[in-house]
Amino acid sequence: MIKKLPFTCPSCSGLLQVNSLGCERCETAVSGKFDLPPLAKLSSEDQQFAIDFIRSSGSLKEMAQKLGLSYPTVRNMLDDLIQKINKNE
């Protein structure tokens, strides 16, 4: 089972922060308040879109072909993603 990284609070829907990090080898624990990186704050669908976009060398035409969508549809999806990243920062 792939566990999804939660990025929003199940109680108030606010953005979650990382409170502790642990070393699997020596079990050292680091605690503090760390912000999630911008891409980790996105939904798994949005993250997949960003990965596919990078794998397509940033070509919207290639993305459109892969997804079976039109060029403006993919461009609009990318613009939505940019908006979400800007909002989360």
The residue among 18 and 84 lying less far from another protein, judged by its C-beta, is 84
The residue among 34 and 71 lying less far from another protein, judged by its C-beta, is 71
Which residues are at the interface with another protein (CB under 8 A)?
43, 45-46, 48-49, 67-73, 75-77, 79-81
Is the backbone of residue 68 left (phi > 0), alpha (psi -120 to 50) or beta? left
User: Shortest distance, CB of residue 77 to another protein, whole angstroms?
Assistant: 5
The residue among 41 and 81 lying less far from another protein, judged by its C-beta, is 81
Q: What is the DSSP string of 32-89?
A: EEEEPPGGGGS-HHHHHHHHHHHHTTT-HHHHHHHHT--HHHHHHHHHHHHHHHHHH-
Distance, in Å, from the CA atom of 59 to the CA atom of 87, rounded to the nearest integer, reads 24
User: Shortest distance, CB of residue 78 to another protein, whole angstroms?
Assistant: 8
User: Shortest distance, CB of residue 25 to another protein, whole angstroms?
Assistant: 36
